A and B are shown apart, each in its own frame.
Chain A
């Protein structure tokens, strides 16, 4: 069956090929590659991925310029129509900057760029993206970021927790993130932003394959594969 996905590339994206590769490996179908300046997305998309990297050199704020690019207006409209959107690392920053997800990503509390495998806990195993995991399951994805310190005010954090919108949590303090939040869902559950890289954990050769189930979950949820 058809699974129409798209990977958006901004100037400075550097995980777009990994993301496209992961989507193709899991779905058997190569995603559309969409450039930031495109005003329109391909018709009938089932899934949109915003990859990691350093869009626009992280100028102004990470993800700020990308979130105002032409293609993002189409992504925001698609997300509001219910099309699933996954933002990883810089893609997460683009999602918060665009207002599709609450909060913001600040400089890591320890100042340093963090590049390592991150132990994670699946906090909500019922979302489109995480249904393939067990509730509370410990998994590991690589992280590589300088600005992954999730911030939102206490009221917003309470709401996210209460509504089951904290999808993933770091099993240990990694970057100073409020309540060790690693991944957040929107209210409708069709937008997930996360700092860790599931697309870098698809096959054992990459050091782990825990990320594969995230894409498989979405695929199964969308086309019943």
Chain B
């Protein structure tokens, strides 16, 4: 089964990369982009036996840094 973990910076944590992307979009002439936040997408292929609690532990222990990041776990139908 495929699991998608989206990791994003918490609100209030400055995101210089997002800001650079925003400036670059402006430079390309795209208007109306008010804010850009860059995150990370991690896809896992896991056995059915891997529980939601296991996935939660994986996020807390490694995939996300809970000081600065939030995560969202999504099981994707194969």
Contacts and interface: CB of A to CB of B under 8 A. Distances in A.
Interface of A: 60-61, 64, 68, 96-97, 102-104, 106-111, 149, 151-152, 176
Interface in B1-38: 13-14, 16-17, 20
Given A96-B67, A176-B16, 13 more contacts: A60-B63, A61-B65, A64-B65, A97-B65, A102-B67, A104-B67, A106-B16, A108-B16, A110-B16, A111-B17, A151-B13, A151-B68, A152-B67
Contact of B14 (A97, A103, A176): A176
A152 B20 CA distance: 22
Contacts, number: 36
A197 to B, nearest CB: 22
A103 B67 contact: yes
Nearest to B19: A111
A111 B20 contact: yes
A104 B68 contact: yes
Interface of A is mostly: loop
Contacts of B67: 96, 102-104, 151-152
A149 B63 CA distance: 20
23 contacts: A60-B63, A61-B65, A64-B62, A64-B65, A68-B61, A68-B62, A96-B67, A97-B65, A102-B67, A103-B67, A104-B67, A106-B14, A106-B16, A106-B68, A107-B17, A108-B16, A109-B14, A111-B16, A111-B20, A149-B14, A151-B13, A151-B14, A151-B68
Contacts of B63: 60
A163 B74 CA distance: 41
Contacts of A108: 16
B55 to A, nearest CB: 16
Contacts of B14: 106, 109, 149, 151, 176
